[in-house]
Each structure stands twice: as structure tokens, then as C-alpha cells.
Amino acid sequence: MTNRTAFVTGASRGIGLACAKALAASGARVVLAARDTTKLEAAAAEIPGASWAELDLASPESIKAAFAKAGRVDILVNNAAITKDNLALRMKKEDWDAVIATNLTGAFLAIQQVLHGMMKERWGRIVNISSVVGEAGNAGQANYVASKAGLIGLTKSIAQEMASRNITVNAVAPGFIETDMTAVLSEELKSAMLGRVPLKRFGKVEDVASAVRFLASEEAGYITGHVLDVNGGMYM
């Protein structure tokens, strides 16, 4: 990945930061993007040669500004996402709109920002981070599940549009991964979740980052429109 620039959203922590580190270790110059500039600056300091850009995926203006700062992008990792969980019966429209705006519309607008440059170079890698729930569904997360399922459809459509330009578009669908977001769950819930995982362990952020690094590599040049599950067998 030498001389390639990778732009990773939601990169201040968790899966996004792990992806940025994995891509940097493979020789890419990485640009970390997220809303929290304090965490971003600290995260970028952990990676030699990395830079960062403030990014709010709910704001088209913020998206344009962040990508303008980054310059040419060869590899885009759409990882940033939010949750606003509730049962469908009680879900407020603003909570539906906020999750779709960030997780799906924001990812689409980010893709739009990099396509012209990738088409000019006739090389590009786009990796969208979906979720096991985008494939299997999950009670209480209609908005989040719809956004992650939508990402899979978006992946397949853009893959078909861009294939002739040597731009691959794939998705990674993580299962239950140990992150700050999952650390707050009760032991009872964690135990119930673990019972659904054949490999009998939760994933690590590095498991997801390894899949992203592969799909962004030259070796994955004949793979496009694919959803790579990283879920320990939780969904098959």
C-alpha cells in the first residue's frame, strides 16, 4: 500500500482506529476522521505519518471540508456510526433520521467525495463497515439495522458502477466485537450473546481490521460487491 492514502471515518477509537493502524502498518498514509478532535489528535499521534480531519457525517459541509483537507484518497473505510436504540413502536422520527443520516447517507456522501479521484487514477478501494445485524436483524434497533442493511445494498450498487474503473467496493460485517461501546453491556447480556457465537469468544477490533486491510490490498483486486462476515459464526 505504499504511496496509497487511506481515509478512515470514526477513527478516533475502536474498530476505526484499529483499521487505521493496520493500513498504516501495510504502508498506507492514513487520515483519521471523527467528530472528537481531542481523541483524534491523540489517536493520530499513535501512528507515524498520520494526519487527522474533523468530520461530522451528518453534515454535508463537514464531509466536503474533511475530504478537501485530506486530498487524494485511494482507500476509503466507512466505519463511523451512531446508535439510538428503541423499539419501533416507541422510536422517535428524529432518532430514525439521525441514525440514517450518519450511518447511511453520510457514508454515501463520503463515497461521492472519493470517486472522481479514484476514477482518474483507475484504482480505488472502498470498504464499508456494516454489521451482523444488517444481515440478521435485531429487535430494538430498526434504525441501526436499516442503515447497516442499506450499506450492503449501497456496496453492491457502487461496486457494479465502478468495476470498469478498477475500483472495488466491499463490506465487512462484524459480529460482537469487544469495544468501548460493548464494554458497558451487562454480564448477563454478554453471556447470552456469547451463547450465539460458535467460536465461543467475542471478536477483537484487530479481527475486523485484518479483514479491512485485506480488502484494501492488491491481493483483493478480484473481489468486489462482497460482504465479508467477521462474526465467529454468529450468522452464516
pLDDT at site 190: 87
C-alpha–C-alpha distance, residues 124 and 51, integer Å: 20
Backbone angles phi, psi at 165, to 5 degrees: -100, 15
Contact between residue 126 and residue 169 where contact means Cβ atoms under 8 Å apart: yes
- The per-residue pLDDT for range 101-116, each reduced to its tens digit, is 999 999 999 999 999 9
Q: Is 222 an annotated catalytic residue?
A: no
C-alpha–C-alpha distance, residues 28 and 183, integer Å: 30
5-230 falls under which CATH superfamily? NAD(P)-binding Rossmann-like Domain (3.40.50.720)
- The per-residue pLDDT for range 198-234, each reduced to its tens digit, is 999 999 999 999 999 999 999 999 999 999 999 999 9
pLDDT at site 182: 77
Domain boundaries, the chain: 5-230
* pTM for this entry: 0.96
C-alpha–C-alpha distance, residues 79 and 130, integer Å: 8
pLDDT at site 189: 86
Q: What is the mean pLDDT of residues 3-18?
A: 97
C-alpha–C-alpha distance, residues 10 and 189, integer Å: 25
Using pLDDT thresholds of 50, 70 and 90, give the confidence band for residue 180: confident
Contact between residue 49 and residue 213 where contact means Cβ atoms under 8 Å apart: no
Beta strands in 64-209 (DSSP E): 75-78, 124-129, 167-174
Q: Which of 52, 144, 176, 202 is catalytic?
A: 144
- The per-residue pLDDT for range 119-144, each reduced to its tens digit, is 999 999 999 999 999 999 999 999 99
The percent of residues in the chain predicted with pLDDT above 90, rounded, is: 93
Contact partners, residue 52, CB within 8 Å, separation at least 6: 11, 31, 32, 33, 34, 37, 40, 41, 43, 44
Using pLDDT thresholds of 50, 70 and 90, give the confidence band for residue 63: very high
